[in-house]
Amino acid sequence: MEQTSDHGNPSFPRHGAPNVACQDCTLRRSRLFKQLDEDELSYVAKLRDRQLVRPAGAKLLSSGPAGGFIYTLYSGWAFRSIQLADGSRQIVEILLPGDVFGVHVALLGNWDYEVTALTRVVLCRLRAPSLDDLCTQVPALNRALIHTLADDKRRADSRLAVLGRTLGPQRIAYLMLELVERLEGAGELKNECCDFPLRRRHLADATGLSGTHVSRSLGELRERGLAHVEDGRLTILDREQLTSFAGFTSLGQRIQRLIL
């Protein structure tokens, strides 16, 4: 993966990446993430290879053998997906700032999923540490990694149960609420409104619906006065009723996730 430039954005240096030091990363100050002590932060900083900027639609990680790197999404949205035998795609996870991906690939040697940029993204690329390294040198990071992977699994299990047992509007509503809960924890939900760059095709691939069914489901949510999507923004009109309609259950007190 090579670095790309973005000369049109004055907030970024000429080479295209913000070049924020690990110690200055504002994401680390969020209560969502485990606060690292000086030694742990120094360890992570030594793993860091470079920061990268990629445009929307770029392939960030491909299926196959590992490349020896893991990535932290510094800004923007991305998604993890699996290509099925018939050529269709199932989106299995939406990635938000602070999320780490490529860990499975680094640990297992290869994987069958891809990661694609949903919006313009900035990534921190790190050399993948070995499990032995994590266990012996920074055991607290190893525990945080296990907790983060377990939290991801719990969220995925809940979503899978809903996708397998509910109708289209409920599936869309559940996905909305899951993302809203995550964005709210990061302070990105304002007056029940947030960015929502998922297009109809992404919602279809994430919920197992056709594009037509997605449109009808979004229309039903709007007509019921529950939620509305327009111009890349999601507005929750009645969260209590939307939660009941979707059968959404908050996962409660979330662990502090590992950010690398």
**What pLDDT shows up at residue 134?**
67
Q: Tell me the C-alpha distance between 156 and 160, whole Å.
A: 6
Question: Max alpha carbon distance in the chain (Å)?
Answer: 56
Q: Whose CA is closest to 250, among 197, 187, 184, 189?
A: 184
Q: Tell me the C-alpha distance between 109 and 127, whole Å.
A: 14
> Phi, psi (5° rounding) for residue 13?
-65, 175
Average pLDDT over residues 44-50: 80
- Residue 225: band (very low, low, confident or very high) from pLDDT cuts 50, 70, 90: very high
Q: Tell me the C-alpha distance between 184 and 180, whole Å.
A: 6
**Among 57-61, 117-121, 237-241, whose mean pLDDT is lowest?**
57-61
Q: What angle, rounded to 10 degrees, do the helices at 168-185 and 239-246 form?
A: 130
Average pLDDT over residues 162-174: 88
The helix (H) or strand (E) run that includes residue 84 is none
Are 25 and 48 spatial neighbours (Cβ–Cβ below 8 Å)? Answer: no
Q: What percent of the chain has pLDDT over 90?
A: 36
Q: pTM to 2 decimals?
A: 0.82
**What pLDDT shows up at residue 237?**
96
153: Cβ contacts below 8 Å, ≥ 6 apart: none
- Residue 67: band (very low, low, confident or very high) from pLDDT cuts 50, 70, 90: low
**What pLDDT shows up at residue 10?**
29
